[in-house]
Amino acid sequence: MRLTSLRFVASSLFIVLFLLSASIPPAYADSAAEINKKGLALANAGDHEAAINEFSMAVALDPANVDAWYNRGRSHASLGRYPEAIKDYTRVVELDPGDAIAYNNRGHAYYSTGDLNRAVEDYSRAIKIKSDMATAFNNRGLAYDGLGKPDLAVRDYNRAIELNPSYAIAYNNRGLYHDNLGKYDLAIADFGKAISSNPHYALAYYNRGYVYHKVGNFEAALKDYSRTIELDPKYAAAYNNKGYVLSLIGDIGPAIAEYTKAVELDPKYATAYTNRGHAYGTMGKYDDAIRDHDKAIGLDPRHATAYNNRGFTYFNMGKYKEAAADYTKAIELNPKYATAFSNRGYTYDRLGDLGRAIKDYNKAIELNPKYSTAYNNRGFTYFNMGKYEEAVADYTKAIELNPKYGLAYFNRAVARLKTGDRDGSVEDLKSSARLGNKDARETLTELKITW
Contact 328, 344 (CB under 8 A): yes
Instruction: Say how far apart CA 63 and CA 57 lie, in whole Å.
Output: 10
**pLDDT range class, residue 448, cuts 50, 70, 90:** confident
Handedness of CA 371, 239, 227, 111 (dihedral sign): positive
CA atoms within 13 A on the CB side of 372: 13
Instruction: Say how far apart CA 92 and CA 69 lie, in whole Å.
Output: 6
**What is the average per-residue pLDDT within 57-83?**
96
- Amino acid 201: pLDDT: 98
Query: Is 279's pLDDT higher than 70?
Result: yes
Residue 230, SS3? helix
Contact 201, 194 (CB under 8 A): yes
- Amino acid 140: pLDDT: 98
Q: Picking from 17-31, 115-129, 235-249, 411-425, which range would have the lowest pLDDT averaged per residue?
A: 17-31
Contact 426, 412 (CB under 8 A): no
Query: Is 6's pLDDT higher than 50?
Result: no
Instruction: Say how far apart CA 147 and CA 19 lie, in whole Å.
Output: 43
In terms of Cα–Cα distance, which of 218, 251, 249, 222 is closest to 238?
222
Backbone phi, psi, residue 264, to 5°: -65, -40
Query: Would you kindly state where each structural domain of the chain is located, as residue ranges?
Result: 348-451
Four-way CATH pick for 348-451: 1.10.10.10, 2.30.22.10, 1.10.3720.10, 1.25.40.10: 1.25.40.10
**What is the average per-residue pLDDT within 290-298?**
98
Query: Which one of 186-190, 440-444, 447-451 scores highest in mean pLDDT?
Result: 186-190
Q: What is the mean pLDDT of the chain?
A: 93
Note the pLDDT tens digit of each residue in 337-391.
Answer: 999 999 999 999 999 999 999 999 999 999 999 999 999 999 999 999 999 999 9
Note the pLDDT tens digit of each residue in 212-251.
Answer: 999 999 999 999 999 999 999 999 999 999 999 999 999 9
Query: Is 15's pLDDT higher than 80?
Result: no
- Amino acid 19: pLDDT: 29
- Amino acid 196: pLDDT: 98
- CA dist 34 to 27, 54, 61, 67, Å? 11, 10, 11, 11
Query: Is 82's pLDDT higher than 90?
Result: yes
Q: How remote is the C-alpha of 410 from its chain's centroid?
A: 37
Helices (H), ranges, 96-201? 100-113, 116-129, 134-146, 150-163, 168-180, 184-197
- Amino acid 25: pLDDT: 54
Query: Is 10's pLDDT higher than 70?
Result: no
- CA dist 13 to 20, 111, 324, 417, 451, Å? 11, 36, 69, 95, 93
Note the pLDDT tens digit of each residue in 253-266.
Answer: 999 999 999 999 99
**pLDDT range class, residue 5, cuts 50, 70, 90:** very low
> Could you give the angle at which helices 338-350 and 372-384 cross, rounded to 10 degrees?
20
> Could you give the angle at which helices 252-265 and 236-248 cross, rounded to 10 degrees?
160
**pLDDT range class, residue 20, cuts 50, 70, 90:** very low
Query: Is 7's pLDDT higher than 70?
Result: no
**pLDDT range class, residue 451, cuts 50, 70, 90:** confident
